[in-house]
Structure 1
Amino acid sequence: MLSYVGEDVIGVALQALKDAWQGKAVSSWKDGSDQCGGDWVGIICTNSRVTSIVLSSMELTGGLPGDIGQFTELVYLDLSYNQDLGGPLHYTIGNLLKLTTLNLVKCGFSGSIPSSIGNLGRLKLLSLNANGFTGPIPASFGKLKNLYWLDLSDNQLNGSLPVSDGINPGLDMLTQTKHFHFGDNHLSGNIPPTLFKSSMSLYHLYVFIYWNNSFTGSIPSTLGLVQSLETVRLDRNSLSGNVPSNINNLTNVSELYMSNNRLTGPVPDLTGLNELNYVDLSNNNFDESNIPSWFSTLQSLTTLNMKSTNLGGELPAELFSIPQLQNVDLRDNRINGTLNISSNPSPQLERVDLQNNLVSDFVQRRQYTFDLILVDNMICRESGATDKFCYLPTNVSTLHPIQLNNCTLTPCGPDLVMSPNCQCAYPFIGLFIFKAPSFSSLTNQTYDSLRELLMSYFHNATLPVDSMSLLEASRNLEDYLLFKLELFPSGEPVFNRTGISSIAFAFSNQSFPSNDDFNTYTFIPENYNFFPDSGTRGNNKASNTKLIIGSVVGGSVLVVLLVLVGMYVLRLKGRPEKFVPDSQPFALWDPTSESGGIPQLKGARSFTFEELRKCTDNFSATSQIGAGGYGNVYKGILPDGELIAIKRARKGSTQGGLEFKTELELLSRVHHKNVVGLVGFCFDQGEQMLVYEFIVNGTLKDSLSGRSGIRLDWMRRLKITLGAARGLQYLHDLADPPIIHRDIKTNNILLDQRLVAKVADFGLSKPLSGTNRTHVTTQVKGTMGYMDPEYYMTQQLTEKSDVYSFGVVMLELITARSPIEKGRYIVRQVKEVMDKNKELYNLYEVLDPIIGLNNQLKGLEMFVDLSLRCVEEMGNQRPTMREIVKEIENIMTFVGLNPDIEPSTSASHGGTSKDYSHPYSNDSLFAYSGGILPPKLIPK
């Protein structure tokens, strides 16, 4: 192996990189120029030797040639955030024996990870996350004795975690490594007990898997030996058995995630874990037990999530006095007796969710300001219960609203953004992601703390950052905390290439000094298209001219703006922060109209027309996301940051009035995770509007047709089927009174950010009450293709009518075909080609090709059998929704899925999601409202 490579060879190697890559950064590399004299952007030399190649976020395309192995003096190789730089990683990278940093975050590399990386004995940071690597983790990584950071997350790696066996090395030999990040891969098998040892200095352990294969077996007791651990994420696997009793040896742990596994045995004893901030043990099968004593002893606790863990007994009042406590989620347990909130609750407490427990009484020692939810407890099941804790709060988000600067509204011109220092500039924008924050709620103090940390770091590192904005906080599927980060340049309105690369390099190399609240992070930047030589923004003179013009225009309207802002502030001054409901929102309702008597509500929020006008920018065209016979649908954002969908009826529409009343009455009294949530309504200034939670991924129809850009494989379709079935079962069995939906179809099943299915649109629904407990005799309404033939013939609407429609939805889920397509009916098509004596019932010609390969369609035959039972001609031959839910759960268990773990959207988008006809509109091309549908309207 070469220990020294001559300058002529290095010149050839650099030329090879230039030939292999495309992008504006390398296009500035001029042949014959001094490659170590600063002429080649990103190439840094020491004594005429190339020691650093740093080209972060430079929009490189192409591959990494084998010539990379010639740079034997290289210390830093950072090509992160170049998503179009890909192909296999060449084995010659193992020649770079002086390399300390290998950073390829968010590139497009694929194939196996070369085992030759194990030769890089000086390596301290190895970040290969967010690529497309496949195959196993190389056992040779065990030779990287100086490694501090190992991040392989968000790839497609498979197999087990390699450990040493006396001959081959393994990850257990990395005793100096502080970070193991293996999440979001296809890894499987048991977590090897020999992976952990007391000599390790590990801080962060991330081995959660969101969707694909996952770890099985028990959590090894050797985990308790690694007392340096601060964050443990083992959530979303298929781990089983008891949590090791020595888990409370991990006295430095501040974040502990073990949710969504199959853990059994006693609830783990966390006594003595006094640094613990964030605990999530939800959705496991622990033995039935009383509330553990450690609930009220962990004084650092901010978040306690133990949904569906078989907990029983009374909650201690001391729990709510923990000084930093923010969020308690104990839904779906057996908590009973009297709820006693401490007389001195935590001032940071924002939410206590005890839905679906057995609480029978509530002692309130003082007025509380947090959200308390006791829906589906004994105390709320009593007739006439009106306490506010018996209804879901209208705003379930605990995240902070968008942060704005305090500058005057001076126009900045195209693509320019006003900085917090009131300068127009082209910001460098990216997503700042924290993988295990110690809190669940955001406050101004949280923002200020993060802002001070970042700006102090930028200043000390002499990075060209003048100011920054933190926007749009949210949590993603893995419970990561996300911020949109805007960085503004110093001195000039635009960053140069060196500035962008240096900032990206600092973030990708984990240089930012995170603290106890903001620990491990990832930064994912957007492409920066405003370099002085990019041509996108024109030359500096033109840009400066824009700035001058903007300043002049801004100054000319400054006085007017100040007056308007002052008037607005005076109007807001003294306005109460909490919502106070209108005692008579329907004072002008006409009970003699065809819409009938005044709506009878149970807890819905009343909005004024002015409130909804403001949050939709005066119902602008850009806010409109759907339209139908009922009216238009708009997207809005409330002052607290909550996204909503507003269905606005056309004035004078009788049909709209009837549907408005029906949906309002029904949705105000139903609360279920698989039923779309009603935020409120508006009956003001002659307007009739319904306000819903905004469901980001639109309708199931959009995803099946490919319009949403979401790819639904077989496993996701099973999860969606189960969610929709559970929502429909809730309406039939648990709503009071029971509700027949009457218009179940893929346009009325919505998918949220986790692809959880929600039943929507109750404009045609009918309640069963009094003498009508079995059926309702009513005019035939619904959608052709989904309509129950028995209901059509008899006009008697039953719960089995919804079952028929749901069976059609199931067939649509496997075929992605409309119920009536080119004059052919989906039920008849499936029956015609079906042959139970052949594999997959011989349904190849009608199956949606996106659904997966033959060996991935386990349980399909059971699914088809169930769907065909649902579409039997006679209602008494169809199963109930309760039976359907049970059978779908059995199918999921048969294929190896946990029915109680929510689906993922990870890697599910084939393109950019777009707004099409909106899910809240109750119209479709085939809507039927009595009479015979003309043949010319049946879709061709």
Structure 2
Amino acid sequence: MTVFKLSSPNAPFMCLHFFLFLLWASTVVAASSQELQPLLKLKSAIQDSNPSLFASWVSARSVCDFTGVTCNSDNSVIGIELSNRGLTGTLPFDSICQLQSLQRLSLGFNSLSGTVSADLDNCTKLQYLDLGNNNFNGSFPDISSLKNLKYMYLNMSGFTGTFPWNSLKTMTGLLVLSVGDNQFDKTPFPHEILGLDNLYWLYMSNCSISGSIPPEIGNLTELIDLELADNYLTGKIPAEISRLKNLWQLELYDNNLNGTIPTGFRNLTNLQFFDASSNSLGGDLSELRFLTKLLSLELYNNGLSGGVPAEFGEFQNLVNLSLYSNNLNGSLPQKLGSWAEFIYIDVSTNNLSGPIPPDMCKRGTMKKLLILQNNFSGEIPATYVNCTTLTRFRVSQNSLSGVVPSGIWGLPNANIIDIAENELEGPITSDIANAKSLAQLWASQNKLSGNLPPEISNASSLGSIDLSGNQFSGDIQENFGGLEQLTSLHLERNRLSGNIPDSLSSCLRLSDLNLAYNFLSGEIPASLGSLPTLNSLNLSNNQLSGQIPATLSSLRLSLLDLSYNRLTGAIPVSLYVEAQNGSFAGNNGLCSSNVTYFRPCSSPSRDVRTFIICFIVGFAVLVALIAFYMFFKRREQKDDVHSLKGDYSWDMKSYHVLSFTEDEILDSIKQENLIGKGGSGNVYKVSLKDGKELAVKHIWNFSPLNRSRTGPGTPMLSKLGSSRCREFDSEVRTLSSIRHVNVVKLYCSITSEDSSLLVYEYLPNGSLWDRLHTCNKLGLHWQTRFEIAHGAAKGLEYLHHGCEKPIIHRDVKSSNILLDEFLKPRIADFGLAKIVQASGGRDSTCVIAGTHGYIAPEYGYTSKVNEKSDVYSFGVVLMELVSGKRAIEPEFGGNRDIVGWVLSKLKNKESVLSIVDATIPESLKSEAIKVLKIAILCTARQPELRPTMRSVVQMLEDADPCKLVGVVIAGNNSGQKKGSLLD
């Protein structure tokens, strides 16, 4: 140990050093103490969300030892790094900015909330600010004092209001500006940004920027990343953008840009990621043929034309190519994708032709091959048999021919194999046993043949099979019963024979079974009636025999068609409604004493006494039978109203100026004009001499029994007849007073003593249900769906708010929304409507009506309904439009309907996006989510929480998610959205 003595010659110097050390130590202690209090206030505000993180803040000897805190050589705090730590709470910026040397504040990827106060402007030495990916609210403050700022990350943080763009004028050294994914007020492109010459990263996607992209954007020559996607930008892509030669990524998708890809774009030779999808760009792709470094090119949903440049086949880095929904023609370069580890291609919905490039999976990495809805020809290249990475193989709606390579059926990771609507031949081979991930197998409308392989049961994930419209023969394998996930089985229009396998009853998820137009024989398995979720059963046009199983009565079917078979025996009483709808037509062996069109069932006497009794009352029975016969004869004349004109007078009431006569309508009510049947009557299509088309609903006002008792002159209404009269009166009373473009037009009514006719406008595109849930779905793009939703909402708004007395429809559903030749919607079928009697103080009706899946939950505890019940039902329709699913689907599980299913999905971004119909383009899914939010509001369990239809119309017109229900849908940091129209 060294001892210093005053007598030492160096003593004065030693004392001086010791004094300076004490002075420095006291300064450090003072500084550390001064910075401790702001840090402790920060800890107090957020520590509850992560106590272990702040343990060191208690035991540390100095603030510089605190976890996440950094100091400089003077022990002054210069950095706080607490990003991605699961933190919650409100930040005390007044305390944080007391740290006078603070240069770095990184708190991104947490769940911090509250507002960012103006005190942030006091952190004048900040160079790095990251508050991104949090849950703040309110506007972001003016931070003009932060002149040293170089990095600013505010993306996806919940900010609203007007962003202080003027603050940027002082930040001339800014290198990174990331403010995207915030719902700022709509504003033109901020010119303050154009002066930031050092900027190399600009992320402004989804922050409400409008107007055109200024040509001065070309002055930011240091930019390597420019993201302006998902805004309201209009006009052309400025040619000056070609001056940004350092650009590595350019994102312009989901805007309203038009024009062509500008001349000079070829100069962006460092560009690797380019996405300008979902705009209105035209022209061709010729400017892109020089961009040899491209890894990902996405230009789908535009109006691009011309061919795919041959140079694309030589791009050695290209792994993603998405050009669907354009007007491209010609063939694809045959070397396309053969150089790099290609991942996916989607060129669907174009006019491309020629062969499929054979080597896109040459590197064994391809996951998605989507080329449907084109004119590709030739065979499916055998090279794709070895592409075991494929998850989606979709080549439908082309002109492909030849035998399907056997290995295609057994792609081990494919969850969709879609080869429908081609000219393909050959069998489904036993390779399908290897398709362990296959969920959808769509091969309809081809020339496939042979027997259905028993190995199909090994593809245990199969949920949907459509092999209709082929030449398959032989039996339906019992093995189908092993497909436990099967929900839809379509084998119609083939050459199948043998019995319907009883094992199908093991497919407990099966909701849609169609075996029509085959040569099936034997009896209908009674076990089908045990399927808990079966919703549609079509066994028509076969050779089935035996009786209709009574077990079918337990099913809740939206479609039952057993017509044109060889069925015999009595129609079960519980299926009388289906019988009236034509479900059993063409089965001459069926009988019923209560259903029109069928011969009465006779019960032979079992003993002499019965015979004697029958003989005694024979005359009376004979009279009754003659009366029945005359009635049935009339109905067997296919409701030919013209034949009744001699017996009855007809009363015609017009509600519009008519261009036709009563006789023109009556003469057209014939079997060949029948287009539909329902519980309320038959519907006929009437074509007038002037070319105009009408739809006529024919309603009988009485039951056969009452007619036979009272004679033709004095009909006595039965319960059934009186119900239909009430229905007729209700519909006429409602429709005759309505004048709205989105409500079906009633031209006139024609009535007699036993018949009533309603003459409507004819809507050639059927119902929304037909378009959404059948093969007519093609052409129902998102924009069309949105317009249907908006139009139908306006129709209901008129009924609720535009009539003298509010009209409650009470059966709003997709099948009651009809579509004209332009797919414009009309609200129809007012058989259940009721005009609210405002004068009597009543605001509801008390008759339970509606359709399962659309009925509001208040029916469970009250029979009273009002306009909010219609709002609920309309919310269900919106969910159908967004998801493409029916109100009741087996996949929902248990007794859950679409509303419960949607609510169960509101967990995270991926789960919410999975609700959206896969046929809706990825770029438009955010728009679909906006409508989904409106649907969620409409289907609130408490009626008082639902909006009015007037509010629904306004919300649809605004389509502004920040005004709607708080469904949190997170996004990724970069704002990129990758995907496919049919993904």
Relative to the length of structure 1, the TM-score reads 0.46
More contact order relative to length (CA 8 Å, sep ≥ 6) = 1
Structure 1 or 2: larger helix share?
Answer: 2
Structure of greater Rg: 2
